[in-house]
A and B are shown apart, each in its own frame.
Chain A
Amino acid sequence: MTPRDPNPAEIAALRQRYPETFRPARGPRLLACLAVAGLIAVAGYAMVRLDFSAVRLLAGLGRLGEFSLMMLPPDPAGQAWTFLRALAETLGIAFIGTLTAALLAFPVAFLAARNVVPNPFVHFTIRRGLDVMRSVDVLIWALIWINVVGLGPFAGALAIACADFGALGKLFSEAVETVDAKAGEGVCASGGAELHRIRFGLIPAVLPVLGSQVLYFFESNTRSATIIGIVGAGGIGQYLTELIRVLELRQVAFLILMILVTVAAIDAVSGRLRRALIGTAR
């Protein structure tokens, strides 16, 4: 059965009775239009300022098409073993960097959490410190560490550790702050001291969350570690940069394929681990 169409007279009557329902929503619509216009205006200004030109874009796209043909078929050109070693180095950088960052961030996060250290001055200072570490990009950290420990993967691992220390510290402290306070109150009520409250009331609740965040960062760091070689801090990025510069695109394609497969594998493993961790928390 199809619904009967209301006749025009009925609609007119309804319109008269509920004028506010039929009136188009001018205010929100105007606001949305203004917002979109603003976005487009800034985008237009940005395009002019950043020298966007259709000619360059088209010429570049043509060349990009040529490049993608030159990439086929991917071919290690006898360097497969070297590339695999570089890949292992990349994974090592990501692993050590993430682990160090997590170990450093763990105690600091409790100091930066409002429900552990009630002194607002302390956690404000620590939070801003973490923010500073976090705002400096991994590549910049790598450049700084190269000055200290020399070229090589160790500088890369330290760079990832520094950048992630800031990011993980912030996330950890937020996780600690959102913990349900009841368990801690229970510990306190049965005579536990402050440290007991943290050990038995907070840590068991946050540990799975923290673990899953660390795994997530490890995933994302395998990606960052592939590029850290661009500034000379070890890993597969060194080869990637060199080979792109000399346009050995078939080897580049092989490297990119290797990275894609590795990252997908790590994502799958850590995704499963993360689900297992969060599962035990419930």
Chain B
Amino acid sequence: MRVAGPDPGRTGPCRPIPVLETVSPLPPDRAAALAQAYDGAVAASRRRVWIGLAVLVVLTGLAAQAAEVRPGVLAANIGKFTDYIAQILPALTLGNLGGDLAEWYWGWPKWLALLGETLLMAYLGTLLGAIGGFLLCFAAAGNVARSRTGCFLVRRILEFCRTVPEIVFALIFVIAFGLGPMVGVLALAIHTTGALGKLFAEVVENIDLKPVESLTAAGAGRIETLRFAVLPQVLSNFVSYGLLRFEINVRGAGVMGFVGAGGIGQELLVAIRNFYYADVSAILVLIILTVMAIDLGTERLRHHLLGGLR
């Protein structure tokens, strides 16, 4: 086949390529069979799509029934939503911007302190959870685990830690340990152990096993194998997942205060429940800015980490 050469007369991406060779047509019976097979395949895939859509519609109906979806109420009350947004937005005037801002953020020393507390909770919860996940992941990874029963057990434990939401842990811990940010940290740490333990184990399962074999052949013990054959392959991924989890935990720590487990959530709950409109927006803006800043920061760090490997 000839390749069409550059054509100086025409530019742009949609340049028609001339037919260079005549194609001998298929015998009619063969062409008909092929066309029929094609039509059959298309019809089958169409049918699959329609059946899938029908199942989806039925499920949606059932779910809407269960979740008491009332579009009428939403339509009737959507004005309340926009009103609410309008109400929580502060009255900022250009003439008196400084004064208005000061009034909006009247509680900033307290709020900033609580925000700092929230960040520290997320940090400590992530760190403790990452340590827990790190210690458990090698036992949960199928390729380096010592015993099958141990692997099964550790996986179930991680699943439990991951499935029970951190707020539920916090609810129970608040009764056991008393109110305060320590409870939030413990709840975050347990949930993080479950989530990171699973991700870490998956990373370990995907490593190249040759270094492990060569170290075992050279007589290295379990700890030495993990340290010198496994760890160098997985560490950057571990850190990257840890940072991702930190991002998630900052969001989680923000609402820990809803159940009395410390952080800025308590202030926000009080403001929303008592209709302190300006406070709601002030605290929300603080949380949103913090979360966005941390998202950007961790994203940079993760790209840097994973990019350094390539």
Q: What is A's interface to B at a CB cutoff of 8 Å?
A: 39, 42-43, 45-47, 49-53, 56-57, 59-61, 63-64, 67, 88-89, 91-93, 95-96, 99, 131-132, 135-137, 139-140, 143-145, 147-150, 152-154, 156-158, 185, 188-191, 223-224, 226-227, 230-231, 234, 240-241, 244-245, 247, 252, 256, 259-260, 263-264
Given A50-B262, A259-B163, CB of A149 within 8 Å of CB of B14: no
Name 16 A/B residue pairs within 8 A (Cβ), A-sorted: A43-B127, A51-B181, A51-B182, A91-B63, A95-B67, A96-B69, A132-B288, A137-B252, A147-B80, A148-B80, A148-B81, A188-B13, A189-B14, A230-B167, A256-B164, A259-B164
CA distance A181 to B160 in the complex (A): 43
CB proximity of B66 to chain A, nearest CB, Å: 3
Give the chain A neighbours of B177 by CB distance below 8 A.
56-57, 59-60, 63
CB proximity of B294 to chain A, nearest CB, Å: 9
Closest to B235 in A: A32
Is B53 part of the binding interface, using a Cβ–Cβ cutoff of 8 Å?
A: no
Task: Pick from B84, B255, B272: contact of A148, CB below 8 A.
Answer: B84
CA distance A267 to B236 in the complex (A): 28
Stretch at the interface among B21-29, B118-126, B201-209, B220-228: B118-126
Given A64-B173, A148-B78, A244-B171, CB of A50 within 8 Å of CB of B68: no
Give the chain A neighbours of B288 by CB distance below 8 A.
132, 135-136
CB proximity of A237 to chain B, nearest CB, Å: 8
Cross-chain contact B63 with A96 (CB below 8 angstroms) = yes
Cross-chain contact A226 with B13 (CB below 8 angstroms) = no
Cross-chain contact A244 with B180 (CB below 8 angstroms) = no
CB proximity of B174 to chain A, nearest CB, Å: 9
Given A67-B176, A140-B255, CB of A89 within 8 Å of CB of B14: no
What are the 7 A-B residue pairs with the smallest beta carbon separation, nearest first? A92-B66, A60-B177, A92-B67, A135-B291, A95-B63, A92-B63, A46-B120
Is B135 part of the binding interface, using a Cβ–Cβ cutoff of 8 Å?
A: no
Is B151 part of the binding interface, using a Cβ–Cβ cutoff of 8 Å?
A: no
Cross-chain contact B172 with A67 (CB below 8 angstroms) = yes
Task: Pick from A61, A132, A143, A152: contact of B269, CB below 8 A.
Answer: A143
Give the chain B neighbours of A137 by CB distance below 8 A.
251-252, 254-255
CA distance A144 to B60 in the complex (A): 24
How many interface residues does B have (CB within 8 Å)? 64
CA distance A217 to B20 in the complex (A): 51
Give the chain A neighbours of B273 by CB distance below 8 A.
143
CB proximity of A59 to chain B, nearest CB, Å: 8
CB proximity of A92 to chain B, nearest CB, Å: 3
Closest to B218 in A: A3
CA distance A46 to B182 in the complex (A): 10
Give the chain B neighbours of A157 by CB distance below 8 A.
67, 69
Cross-chain contact B67 with A50 (CB below 8 angstroms) = no
CA distance A94 to B147 in the complex (A): 37
Q: What is B's interface to A at a CB cutoff of 8 Å?
A: 13-15, 56, 59-60, 62-70, 73-74, 77-78, 80-81, 84, 116-117, 120-121, 123-124, 127, 159-160, 163-165, 167-168, 171-173, 175-178, 180-182, 185, 251-252, 254-255, 258-259, 262, 268-269, 272-273, 284, 287-288, 291-292, 295
CA distance A157 to B124 in the complex (A): 32
CA distance A89 to B95 in the complex (A): 51
Task: Pick from A60, A89, A96, A148: contact of B173, CB below 8 A.
Answer: A60
Cross-chain contact B175 with A244 (CB below 8 angstroms) = yes
Cross-chain contact B59 with A189 (CB below 8 angstroms) = no
Give the chain B neighbours of A231 by CB distance below 8 A.
258
Task: Pick from A49, A89, A244: contact of B67, CB below 8 A.
Answer: A89
Task: Pick from A50, A57, A153: contact of B117, CB below 8 A.
Answer: A50
Give the chain A neighbours of B64 by CB distance below 8 A.
92, 96
CA distance A227 to B168 in the complex (A): 7
| Interface-central residue, B116, B123, B255, by most chain A CB under 10 Å | B255
CB proximity of A151 to chain B, nearest CB, Å: 11
CB proximity of B123 to chain A, nearest CB, Å: 6
Closest to A241 in B: B171
Cross-chain contact A49 with B171 (CB below 8 angstroms) = no
CA distance A236 to B182 in the complex (A): 26
Cross-chain contact A153 with B66 (CB below 8 angstroms) = yes
Cross-chain contact B182 with A56 (CB below 8 angstroms) = yes
Cross-chain contact A63 with B68 (CB below 8 angstroms) = no
CB proximity of A47 to chain B, nearest CB, Å: 7
Cross-chain contact B165 with A226 (CB below 8 angstroms) = yes
Given contacts A63-B176, A135-B291, A136-B288, 14 further A-B contacts (CB under 8 A): A43-B127, A46-B121, A46-B185, A50-B180, A59-B177, A60-B177, A64-B173, A95-B59, A96-B63, A135-B295, A137-B252, A148-B74, A244-B171, A256-B164
Cross-chain contact B68 with A154 (CB below 8 angstroms) = yes
Give the chain B neighbours of A51 by CB distance below 8 A.
180-182
Closest to B85 in A: A144
CA distance A157 to B64 in the complex (A): 9
Cross-chain contact A42 with B123 (CB below 8 angstroms) = yes
Give the chain B neighbours of A46 by CB distance below 8 A.
120-121, 123-124, 185
Give the chain A neighbours of B272 by CB distance below 8 A.
140, 143-144
Cross-chain contact B269 with A135 (CB below 8 angstroms) = no
Cross-chain contact B67 with A153 (CB below 8 angstroms) = yes
